[in-house]
Amino acid sequence: MKAPGFHIWLGENIFADSAGQCHFDLEYRELVSLRPRDSKPCDETNHISFTLPVSLPESGSGMDYWDIEYQDYLELQNSGVFSSPVQATRFKPCQRVQYTVGVLVLHSGTMLHRIGASPSVRETDERITLQGHGISNGSGWMLYW
């Protein structure tokens, strides 16, 4: 596990025509299994993912998401409805959280999501965000990337 860190996308490397790969943030499961024996237990039901936009393309940027929680995804996957997160996106409409520089976006991480495409990208555009995750151990939060 790493400390929270920055995603830096410059110019033509910013997602414009297509967006990032849809996924669930499940890294918290590693922290639960890796914690020292003498430390407080992690609460597997109390975890977060966050994004703090630092710089965005002029045309905007955000996060796409679908109203599909990880547990629901597993149940439907096990029943043979679909076999990947990409296939799951066909069952619910894509929604979007529009980012604003300096405004923190916080969610559970267990909702299907991806980096949202920017409507257009200029050579001088930047998409810089502070990204991270956290899990509660009862007395505070352990933040990581």
pLDDT tens-digit map of 102-135 = 999 999 999 999 999 999 999 999 999 999 998 8
pLDDT tens-digit map of 9-64 = 999 888 887 777 899 998 877 766 656 566 666 777 788 999 999 999 999 999 99
The number of domains in the chain is 1
The pLDDT of residue 30? 76
SS3 of the chain: CCCCEEEEEEHHHCCCCCCCCCECCCCHHHHHHHCCCCCCCCCCCCEEEEEEEEECCCCCCEEEEEEEEHHHHHHHHHCCCCCCHHHHCCCCCCEEEECCCCCCEEECCCEEEEECCCCCCCCCCEEEEEEEEEEECCCCEEEEC
Owning domain of residue 118: 5-144
